[in-house]
Amino acid sequence: MTLKGYKDLPEGGVITEKGNSALYKTGEWRSMRPNYYPEGCVHCLICWVFCPDSAIKVENGKMLGIDYDHCKGCGICARECPRKEKALQMVKE
Amino acid sequence: MALEIKQVAMTGNEAVANAIKQINPDVIAAYPITPQTDIVQFYSTFVANGLVDTQMVTVESEHSAISATIGASAAGARAMTATSSQGLALMHELLHIASGFRLPIAMPVVNRAVSAPINIHCDHSDTMAALTTGWIQIYGENAQEAYDNMIQAVKIAEDPRVKLPVMVCYDGFITSHAVENLVLLPDEKVKEFVGEYKPTHELFDFDSPVTFGPLVLPDYFSEIKAQQAEAMLAAKEVILEVAKEFEKMSGRKYGYFEGYKLEDAERVIVVMSSTAGTAKAVVNELRAQGEKVGLLKPRVIRPFPAEEYVKALSGAKVVGVMDRAETFSTQGGQLFTELRAAFYEAPERPLMRNYIFGLGGRDTTTAEIRKVFEQLKQDQERGSVDRKVTHLDVRV
């Protein structure tokens, strides 16, 4: 992302767009990422329960994967995954 | 047509309250502190008598006063408050917010010593402690200048190139409470001069909603501060433009400073606010005896017009800078250190020495000023200053 220079910013750091927090991808902060291996997943949704950032995508009771725009890579999902062969494993970004 | 002149006898605070009445701001937040109190007290009678359209908000502290002013200003109103001393200190964190939000608040600050020891009288320790808050600072010598500066401050602050808050400073009691002769401008002239306030962004513009005060992280924070620095630089130009326009209306001339018999002066005192009036009397006296002495009275110190000060002082042999506040750096007062720094690149540097004077309202009379000029003369003859920083008129 190209950052704007000071002459192109609204004065005083005022935000002039409505609802633009949606544009801010906090997942950019991540240094580790959880990789999802659906073959080992039993859809217990414990990862969804524990994720502090609502970054586990779930539809109709099924785990679909990770919302990498907002996942900050804390690793709680991988730690809590109860499978012996973890369906979520942390790797370096 | 000659301007309709209204000669009045008023205290500095009454004159400033009248300036604000003529400006007729949308909102005033009021909290009393000596020696500022009667500005807002006078103003409350204007409100009660229906002479202004201002919404007056009485609050529970100066922290709240400036907070309410910031809120009103961000909402799109022309908003003001006034303070002194501990009040300005209590406002401190919000001072950064007013300038950081780029809110053009014009605020009288009636200079008074900051405790401890507790003291209600004049020195400049309150506004000197606010030099790094991003506010423009303008100082006036007397009631007339306080009145004139108040009117100009609104126009400087609200200029689209500036959009910064301004402190209009003058000396507590000496200027704020002494009755002086001054000239008021006609109401409609002031109204026309300050014009209508047009905010860049306003919270009450529901068609284009904005957020003031979002979190700005390391990737953008420096850019926001660079904007403020650029606005301060632009203020340098705007201050002179506004002064020129004001002169056209009033016939009274303003700039970054006033030079008094500076042209061929070899020994110069630099002093702000009311003491400059005392110094002028001594300059006149010594000039009558053939002494080449002069005075430079700074009016604007934020922004700090360094080049202009250097140019004005370039002919001097010895300069005595008088600071009405300690910095406790042990290297002198704020004016002194900034003026010395300004001379760093100058090919010719005068001898410079510093006097810390008038703290907590200690009277600085013509006798003390005469003593300073005598010491400057000895320095000139010796070719060096015998003491860099002196606490003037302090018992050992």
Over residues B36-82, the pLDDT tens digits come to 999 999 999 999 999 999 999 999 999 999 999 999 999 999 999 99
Q: Residue B261 pLDDT > 80, yes or no? A: yes
Q: What is the CATH number of domain B257-391?
A: 3.40.50.920
**How many CA atoms, within 13 angstroms, populate the side-chain half-sphere of residue B87?**
28
pLDDT confidence of residue B2: 52
CA dist., res. B20 & res. B235, Å (int): 21
Q: Residue B21 pLDDT > 60, yes or no? A: yes
A12 CB-near residues (< 8 Å, 6+ apart) = B100, B101, B102, B103, B163, B201, B212, B224, B227
Mutant choice from A6, A9, A21 vs B, greatest count of B C-beta within 10 A = A6
pLDDT confidence of residue B381: 98
Digit-coded pLDDT (tens) for B105-161: 999 999 999 999 999 999 999 999 999 999 999 999 999 999 999 999 999 999 999
pLDDT confidence of residue A21: 84
For residue B5, what pLDDT band results from cuts at 50, 70 and 90?
Answer: confident
pLDDT confidence of residue B6: 87
- Rounded to the nearest integer, the mean pLDDT of chain A is 94
Q: Which residues of chain B form CATH 3.40.50.970?
A: 6-250
pLDDT confidence of residue A24: 85
Mean pLDDT computed over A73-93: 96
Nearest CA of chain B to the CA of A27: how many Å?
15
B295 CB-near residues (< 8 Å, 6+ apart) = B258, B259, B260, B261, B262, B268, B269, B270, B271, B276, B279, B280, B283
pLDDT confidence of residue B247: 98
- Give the position of tokens 């604007």: B300
pLDDT confidence of residue A70: 96
Domain ranges of chain A: 27-92
Digit-coded pLDDT (tens) for A29-38: 899 999 999 9
Digit-coded pLDDT (tens) for B283-309: 999 999 999 999 999 999 999 999 999
Share of chain A above pLDDT 90, in %: 84
| Domain B6-250 class in CATH | alpha beta
Q: Which residues of A touch B (CB under 8 A)?
A: 3-6, 9-16, 18
For residue B219, what pLDDT band results from cuts at 50, 70 and 90?
Answer: very high
Could you give the ipTM of this predicted complex? 0.82
CB contact under 8 A, B223 and A16: no
Nearest CA of chain A to the CA of B64: how many Å?
21
Q: Residue A86 pLDDT > 60, yes or no? A: yes
For residue B310, what pLDDT band results from cuts at 50, 70 and 90?
Answer: very high
Is the CATH number of domain A27-92 3.40.1130.10? Answer: no
Nearest CA of chain A to the CA of B65: how many Å?
21
pLDDT confidence of residue A29: 87
Mean pLDDT computed over A21-29: 88
Phi first, then psi: give them for residue B259, nearest 5 degrees: -95, 130
pLDDT confidence of residue A19: 86
For residue B4, what pLDDT band results from cuts at 50, 70 and 90?
Answer: low
Of B326, B309, B298, the closest CA to residue B390 belongs to B326
CB contact under 8 A, B102 and A11: yes
Helices B92-100 and B62-75, packing angle to 10 deg: 10
pLDDT confidence of residue A1: 66
Q: Residue A63 pLDDT > 90, yes or no? A: yes
Measured between CA atoms, the residue of chain A closest to residue B101 is A12
- Rounded to the nearest integer, the mean pLDDT of chain B is 97
Mutant choice from B70, B220, B222 vs A, greatest count of A C-beta within 10 A = B220
